[in-house]
Structure 1
Amino acid sequence: MGDYVLAIDQGTTSTRALLFDRELKVAALSQQEFPQYYPRSGWVEHDAEDLWETTLATCREALAQARAEARDIAAIGITNQRETTLIWERDSGRPIHRAIVWQDRRTAQRCAKLRDDGHEAEITRKTGLLPDPYFSATKAAWILDHVEGAREAAESGALAFGTVDSFLLWRLTGGRHHASDATNASRTLLYDIHAGRWDEALCAMTGVPRALLP
């Protein structure tokens, strides 16, 4: 068994990697900032490759500081900016659009329509959340509606959606694992926190195909 636990902290403005030794003391720490993109007022995006490259770079730097190698790692944990939304091609792992960040407000009208159509009570009952652009579902639907061919590709199973943890896990495992956990899933507006699963009705009302999800 390895001597270290690697913690990846992928945040809104920077990525950090920390190595903890067997006594849970920090043996190494590396941090890198990355660019923010503001295409319009109220819009915030990240280049998914920046998230990936800073993750790789900080992990490698932390290992170098500790004079350790990948085989010395017993486990990896990921913490992340939770509602930020990515969609990528399953066959190539290539994102089809920049990540839409949690602060982004471009889907305010879509959320207002969910309320006007009488869906707010059901959404809140199942998710504990309000229909708001903060959360992932309407961001994912926006990408599908604004990238040519994306909705059809999503419905056929050719695309994958995830919050940042899912994207990093996909890349770290070479596409073998498309997964998330309840703490991230619960911030999407698509996860029934009482049943502990994705909800078909929530997917339908927000326009996110079930085939897209981890």
Structure 2
Amino acid sequence: MIARIDIAESAEVTSLERAWVRASRELAAQPGFLSTRIHRVYRRMNATGYDLVSIARWNDLAAYHSAEATGATLPVEGVRGINLYGCVDQSDFISQPARDSNLVILNPYRIRRPQAADNARMWNATRRLMARREGFIGAELFQTFHPGEDTFYFVSRAEWETEAAFMTQFEGRDYQQIVSPFSGTFQICFSNVIEEITKKDTP
């Protein structure tokens, strides 16, 4: 599985969301398409930043590029880079449809390749810690295929049943001991999935 991840700022969030839904339904007809989810950011913990995050999943790079060759793309304008990522670490996910009530923590990492191994180990340690917490649903770490082109080397996505469940984790001393040496390398944003399009949604 690979993912096209677009992290966008927009003054016209609602109109972009509508255009995204229309384009996603067209993409769903493409061979190798798996799903897309668009997340609306509603709170930023440690930085100003973006408003929407789109994650479109494909079987592999060949399927993505075949669709791209037909002109099938998502309407996320002004996003620099190629933004193709592979999943390099993940928890055992509790499989469920997207729920707009769930909290999704999105963290883009603005780092260089020499910092990647240390940041990946930090993320793995937090993933194992989160897996023991009540309310945790699952987490994934994506790494860019094109570090020379993309703004973010890693993008992580963690899903929780509630904001309160995550804050119990975030405010814990054990969690802070793991992440505090990496302060400033990633943004912590709270979001909800506002739309999910899957292959089965194709008419």
TM surpasses 0.5: no
More strand by share: 2
Higher relative contact order (CA 8 A, sep 6+): 2
TM-score by length of 2: 0.29
TM-score by length of 1: 0.28
